[in-house]
Amino acid sequence: MLDLSQEKIAITGGDGFLGKHLQSHLRNVGVPEQNILIPLIEDYDLTKENDVWRMYQDMQPDVVIHLAAEVGGIGANRQQPGRFFYANMAMGLHLIEHARRQNIKKFVQIGTICAYPKFTPVPFKEENLWDGYPEETNAPYGIAKKSLLVMLQSYRQQYGLNGIYLLPVNLYGPGDNFDLKTSHVIPALIRKFCAAVESGAETVEIWGTGSASREFFYVEDAARAIVMAAQQYDSSEPVNLGAGFEITIKDLAEKIQELTGFQGQLVWDTSKPDGQPRRCLDTTRAREYFGFEAQMPFEQGLRHTIEWWRSQRRS
């Protein structure tokens, strides 16, 4: 077991949604504040190799947790497929290569379930990753991230780099991205419904048919899972991280409608894509390999997220 309290830990994307919760959880397990290193985008453009090299020289980390990504919902993926492929491929490529050169103790790569084939049997099992092409709207992002799994496995084989690959399902929670142009479905719906309540609107428009299903993973559970894996897991096999349930977008929208108090009608824009038909993970490996199980009940997590967004609106 790796005692993280004794290590200098660089977290790419550490100032973002998941990163802030991860910082908090690392402090909870005894990592001193001065050992949590956050390369900010203003200082290091991680898509550029020279900046990655400089980050390693400046920070001298023992462990790297690579959260940073350029990502968004269906709309953003359709508008910027080339950028999303390039940025995510370049960041991972340079960070892993220079982790090898620096001989760091551990590299933790956060992958994406967008890497799974479009019609993966539910629940998704890690061995299904290579059974087909990902859902088209987010395939460039998903394939870029999946290629980093291959890179870590090959670097472990050739160079002995201890790199692990984790696949968290859709995250949500306080501090999420609520920008309607780039947000995922839960923050987008919360923002739309809260705005409709405030304005007295009679309808809320939602993309797709509502028939697609998703699994949602509370961000504090995700942070705890990553820390547990960093401490205890040292193998090449990818590991799903999730809560082990699924809900249709229609049922999700109706639940958020209820929790926000919106009294109007839902209008489904069926000209817009649904994305991948179903998403739900088999989380057996996480439980068996490092003892992780999600704890946050879904409705309670939604309540916390809605309360946080409304508090931000008032402040």
Integer Cα distance of 216 and 222 in angstroms = 10
Q: Cβ distance 167 to 241 under 8 Å?
A: yes
Token reading at 71: 């990502």
86 catalytic? Reply is no
Token reading at 291: 């003892």
Integer Cα distance of 134 and 226 in angstroms = 24
Neighbours of 297 (CB within 10 A): 11
Q: Which residues, listed in sequence order, are joined to residue 206 by a DSSP beta bridge?
A: 268
Look at residue 128 and give its three-state secondary structure. helix
Catalytic residue selected from 116, 141, 172, 218: 141
Q: Which residues, listed in sequence order, are joined to residue 110 by a DSSP beta bridge?
A: 166
- Burial of residue 308 (number of CB atoms within 10 Å: 0-12, 13-18, 19+): middle
Give the chain's length: 315
Query: Of 209, 283, 298, which is closest to residue 248 (Cα–Cα)?
Result: 209
Q: Which residues, listed in sequence order, are joined to residue 165 by a DSSP beta bridge?
A: 109
Q: Cβ distance 238 to 111 under 8 Å?
A: yes
Integer Cα distance of 7 and 28 in angstroms = 14
Q: Which residues, listed in sequence order, are joined to residue 232 by a DSSP beta bridge?
A: none
Integer Cα distance of 276 and 128 in angstroms = 15
Residues tagged active-site: 141
